[in-house]
């Protein structure tokens, strides 16, 4: 049986961790053949096929072009953007399932109709991501179009580890809610807004659940690999503070915030007598954590900050490295998740609705409101407040216990809600 695996993973170790963990478990299903949406990432599964496709989104091309013209490959590009009214109409039509089978999709062989292309697969699985929201409208459209197309053919649809929202537009909310209702199961990664969206969408009990981020399924690298990386950067266990900065259109971090963050880090490093180590999660040109670290270092005169970079990095290696830090503070969702899942206190900085949901969700999942801090609150007492979190022995013990339990919960719930459901829906080998 053929399972199409869609995801939001690109040049981001957090996204890769979620996809990697899910694919590892899906490979264990008897007679299942996996077809994973291609992405520019290192890949360690030679037995898993990679397929290239892009779903035509109404927010990116002009409405004068018909679906038939696109499917026949008669459109080259260079077209103006469509109006919000056109996008809203397309979202509304897709929300009622009226157009999913006609949505154009571009594959390695050219343009086709989505409904025709989906006939090649027996089930849809969408791996964990944070792009089903208004900040990534084309990703939201892609996921919902796929869900409606598979649902129209009566095929299994399962989602895991999703951050749903924030949704600020009526058309987007309508589109997502209608898609979620057509899924067999929706797994979310945080117990706040994502769960509320599932409830508000009218999902039945048992049709959705919160069981944490899919990256919980990735084990940290072994001591030999981690020790080698630490020797390369001359680091010692609990002898450094891990930091991360994300500067992007969706993270809302201003130059003033970078300066305030740098001042707090410099004071914190001095208070604890530790060095700063910037750990990147995204390496994409548009939101590179390495480039952001350079900007941060420019605001830290007299304070040395090492930046982890180079070939050979992986989600498991970064997770293992963060497990050796005394504490962590940064913007990236998976930077914080990698640290917390190793029992290391990590303070998630946020600004804007998108990262506010991420940070608040992390604080709720790991059980302490101090683990989320708005960028706007950075000030004279920031270093003192973060130091108090790092030196809270009870919190550190709680996080270590919670991390072990979270990994076990994710494993058992993925098996019960994804693997078992796929097997029950017809993918089990004789």
97-138 pLDDT per residue, tens: 667 888 889 998 999 999 999 999 999 999 999 989 988 888
**Domain tally for the chain?**
2
Q: Is the pLDDT confidence value at 68 over 50?
A: no
**210 and 235 belong to one structural domain:** no
Q: Is 131 left (phi over 0), alpha (psi -120 to 50) or beta?
A: alpha
**Residue 243: which CATH number?**
3.40.50.2000
Asked whether residue 331 is domain-assigned, the answer is yes
> Quick one: tokens of 248?
């992007």
**235 and 207 belong to one structural domain:** no
> What pLDDT does 40 receive?
58
Spatial distance between the Cα atoms of 198 and 177, rounded to a whole number of angstroms: 8
- Mean pLDDT confidence for 79-98: 60
Q: Is the pLDDT confidence value at 86 over 80?
A: no
Average pLDDT, the chain: 89
> What pLDDT does 1 receive?
87
Going by pLDDT thresholds of 50, 70 and 90, the confidence category of residue 88 is low
Residue 87 · residue 61 · CB < 8 Å: no
Asked whether residue 32 is domain-assigned, the answer is yes
> Quick one: tokens of 80?
């103006």
Half-sphere exposure of 195 (CA within 13 A, CB side): 13
Q: Is the pLDDT confidence value at 63 over 50?
A: no
**125 and 181 belong to one structural domain:** yes
Q: Is the pLDDT confidence value at 82 over 50?
A: no
**383 and 323 belong to one structural domain:** yes
Asked whether residue 95 is domain-assigned, the answer is yes
**245 and 272 belong to one structural domain:** yes
User: Residue 114: exposed, middle, or buried by beta-carbon count in 10 A (0-12, 13-18, 19+)?
Assistant: buried
Going by pLDDT thresholds of 50, 70 and 90, the confidence category of residue 61 is very low
Query: What 3-state DSSP class applies to 126?
Result: strand
Asked whether residue 402 is domain-assigned, the answer is no
Asked whether residue 57 is domain-assigned, the answer is yes
> What pLDDT does 265 receive?
96
List the strands of the sheet with 104-107, edge to edge: 53-55, 104-107, 110-113
**302 and 202 belong to one structural domain:** no
**162 and 299 belong to one structural domain:** no
Going by pLDDT thresholds of 50, 70 and 90, the confidence category of residue 84 is low
**190 and 269 belong to one structural domain:** no
Asked whether residue 56 is domain-assigned, the answer is yes
CA 368 to chain centre: 22
Q: Where are the alpha helices (DSSP H) in 206-307?
A: 223-232, 255-272, 289-298
> What pLDDT does 284 receive?
84
The structure's pTM equals 0.91
Query: What 3-state DSSP class applies to 404?
Result: helix
Which of the pair, 427 or 24, is modelled with greater confidence?
24
Residue 299 · residue 211 · CB < 8 Å: no
Asked whether residue 400 is domain-assigned, the answer is no
Query: What 3-state DSSP class applies to 114?
Result: helix
Range of lowest pLDDT (30-39, 52-61, 76-85, 420-429): 76-85
Q: Is the pLDDT confidence value at 258 over 80?
A: yes
> Quick one: tokens of 296?
């941060």
Q: Is the pLDDT confidence value at 28 over 90?
A: no
Spatial distance between the Cα atoms of 343 and 412, rounded to a whole number of angstroms: 20
Going by pLDDT thresholds of 50, 70 and 90, the confidence category of residue 323 is very high
**27 and 168 belong to one structural domain:** yes
Half-sphere exposure of 119 (CA within 13 A, CB side): 7
> What pLDDT does 96 receive?
65
The string of pLDDT tens digits covering residues 271-281 is 999 999 999 99
> What pLDDT does 214 receive?
97
Residue 294 · residue 305 · CB < 8 Å: no
Asked whether residue 396 is domain-assigned, the answer is no
Spatial distance between the Cα atoms of 259 and 426, rounded to a whole number of angstroms: 56
| Domain membership of residue 314 as a residue range | 223-391
**148 and 117 belong to one structural domain:** yes
**Residue 153: which CATH number?**
3.40.50
**231 and 213 belong to one structural domain:** no
Q: Is the pLDDT confidence value at 424 over 90?
A: no
Range of lowest pLDDT (58-67, 188-197, 236-245, 408-417): 58-67
- Mean pLDDT confidence for 51-74: 56
The string of pLDDT tens digits covering residues 138-147 is 899 899 999 9
Residue 398 · residue 406 · CB < 8 Å: no
> What pLDDT does 98 receive?
67
> What pLDDT does 71 receive?
38
> What pLDDT does 64 receive?
36
- Mean pLDDT confidence for 339-347: 98
Q: Is the pLDDT confidence value at 391 over 80?
A: yes
What is the end-to-end Cα distance of the chain in Å, rounded? 12
- Mean pLDDT confidence for 258-264: 95
pLDDT over 70, % of the chain: 89
Spatial distance between the Cα atoms of 375 and 81, rounded to a whole number of angstroms: 33
> What pLDDT does 327 receive?
98
> What pLDDT does 252 receive?
83
The string of pLDDT tens digits covering residues 149-185 is 999 999 999 999 999 999 988 888 988 999 999 999 9
**70 and 55 belong to one structural domain:** yes
pLDDT over 90, % of the chain: 72
Which of the pair, 236 or 59, is modelled with greater confidence?
236
Query: What 3-state DSSP class applies to 123?
Result: strand
> What pLDDT does 74 receive?
40
Cα→Cα distances 184→150, 177, 205, 321, Å: 11, 13, 11, 37
């Amino acid at each position: 049986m053929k399972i199409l695996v869609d995801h939001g993973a690109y040049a981001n170790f957090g996204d890769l961790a979620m996809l990697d963990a899910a694919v590892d478990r899906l490979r264990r299903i008897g007679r299942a053949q996996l077809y994973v949406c291609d992405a520019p990432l290192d890949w360690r599964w030679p037995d898993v096929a990679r397929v290239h496709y892009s779903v035509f989104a109404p927010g990116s091309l002009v409405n004068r072009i018909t679906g038939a013209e696109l499917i026949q490959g008669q459109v080259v590009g260079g077209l103006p953007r469509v109006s919000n009214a056109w996008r809203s109409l397309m979202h509304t039509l897709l929300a009622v399932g009226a157009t999913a089978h006609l949505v154009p999709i571009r594959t390695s062989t050219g343009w086709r109709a989505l409904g025709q292309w989906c006939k090649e697969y027996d089930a849809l699985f969408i791996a964990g991501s944070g792009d089903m929201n208004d900040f990534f409208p084309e990703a939201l459209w892609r996921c919902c179009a796929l869900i409606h197309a598979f649902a129209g053919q009566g095929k299994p649809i399962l989602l895991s580890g999703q951050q749903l929202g924030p949704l600020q537009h009526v058309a987007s909310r309508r589109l997502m809610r209608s898609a979620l209702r057509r899924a067999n199961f929706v797994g979310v990664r945080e117990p706040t807004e994502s769960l509320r969206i599932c409830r508000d969408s009218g999902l039945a009990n048992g049709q959705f659940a919160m069981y944490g981020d899919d990256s919980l399924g990735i084990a940290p690298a072994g001591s030999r690999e981690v020790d080698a990386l630490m020797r390369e950067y001359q680091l010692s266990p609990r002898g450094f503070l891990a930091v991360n900065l994300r500067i992007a259109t969706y993270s809302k971090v201003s130059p003033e915030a970078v300066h305030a963050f740098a001042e707090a880090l410099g004071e914190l490093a001095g208070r604890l007598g530790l060095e700063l180590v910037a750990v990147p999660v995204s390496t994409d040109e548009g939101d590179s954590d390495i480039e952001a670290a350079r900007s941060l270092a420019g605001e830290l005169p007299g304070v040395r900050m090492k930046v982890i970079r180079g070939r050979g990095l992986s989600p498991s290696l970064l997770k293992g490295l963060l497990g050796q830090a005394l504490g962590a503070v940064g913007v990236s969702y998976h930077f914080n998740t990698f640290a917390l899942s190793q029992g290391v206190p990590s303070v998630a900085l946020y600004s804007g609705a998108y990262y506010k949901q991420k940070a608040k969700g992390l604080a709720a999942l790991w059980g302490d409101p101090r683990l989320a801090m708005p960028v706007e609150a950075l000030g004279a007492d920031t270093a003192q407040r973060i130091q108090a979190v790092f030196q809270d022995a009870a919190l550190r013990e709680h996080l270590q216990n919670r991390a072990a339990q979270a990994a076990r919960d994710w494993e058992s719930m993925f098996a019960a809600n994804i693997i078992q459901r796929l097997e029950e829906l017809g993918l089990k080998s004789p």
